[in-house]
Amino acid sequence: MNSSCADCAVRDRSLCGSLSDAELEALNRLGRRRTVRRGETIAWAGDPNIICANLLSGMLRLVAADADGREQVVGLLYPADFVGRPFAEEVDFTITALTDAELCFFPRGPFEQVLNDHARMERLLLRRVLDALADARSRMAMLARASAAERIARLLIDMGRRAAATGCRAAPDGPLTFDLPMARGEMAEMLGLTIETASRQMTSLRDAGIIALPGGRAVTILDDAALMKRAAL
């Protein structure tokens, strides 16, 4: 194992965490770390698909555009998520960094060959892809029937759960605090709301003592049970 894998913060939660030594060594020979800055686009929809990656830190967003050029955020990627789509000739969604991020990149062709040579790794990746598909379908169903309050609450719960893995707490037993990776307008767009509605729902959660808004984009979840109730979960 090389040093880049030994000090990888997400190794136990990423695809690599389930690999045997032989599989990890095969992947090691391909991987190259790269840092991207907030707002930088990693891949454009419709471009030739040449890379896959593990997201090591930061957050990315997946954006689809319709025939009129209107964009819609269709997904978020968090540390330990897999980026890209092996065996596809074109990039399906534009991938942009919501925050500064670090990734471990693999050229798609050689990565596909590693998958062909290691059937178990291919099955593990397929399981992750199917889980992501299930999440996307769940999100579509939520947008179709959930109220504005439920949509905002569920997004905060999802972000909070992901942030909890990084230990974002002022004290070990303290409330969870994390930075929203997007502006209110972007949140609203992703959830099919107006920015005014999204802002009202955030204010309502704050006034009810369910969350705190310390400043900037920071959010503190003060009452997990109440947030779950607001989300109708």
Residue 117 has pLDDT above 70, yes or no: yes
pLDDT exceeds 50 at position 1 = no
- 105/169 Cα distance (integer angstroms): 30
pLDDT in tens, 195-208: 999 999 999 999 99
Residue 4 pLDDT: 61
Q: Alpha carbon 184 to chain centroid distance? A: 17
Model confidence band, residue 43 (pLDDT cutoffs 50, 70, 90): very high
At residue 55, the pLDDT reads 92
Q: What is the tens place of the pLDDT at every residue in 119-143? A: 888 888 888 888 877 877 777 777 6
Average pLDDT of the chain? 85
137-162 tens-digit pLDDT: 777 777 678 899 999 999 999 888 88
Residue 217's pLDDT band, with cuts at 50, 70 and 90, is confident
- The domains of the chain are located at 3-142, 146-230
Calculate mean pLDDT across residues 62-79: 83
Give the per-residue pLDDT at 19: 77
- In this chain, the answer to whether the domains covering 3-142 and 146-230 adopt an identical fold is no
Residues 6+ apart with CB under 8 A from 59: 76, 77, 78, 79, 97, 98, 99, 101, 181
Query: What spatial distance separates the first Cα and last Cα of the chain, rounded to whole Å?
Result: 42
Instruction: Provide the whole-model pTM.
Output: 0.80
CB 77 within 8 A of CB 84: no
Nearest to 226 by CA among 212, 193, 165, 166: 212
* CATH architecture, domain defined by 146-230: Orthogonal Bundle (1.10)
Question: What is the percentage of the chain residues whose pLDDT exceeds 70?
Answer: 91
Q: What is the mean pLDDT of residues 24-53?
A: 90
Q: What is the architecture, at CATH level 2, of domain 3-142?
A: Sandwich (2.60)
C-beta separation of 43 from 95 below 8 A: yes
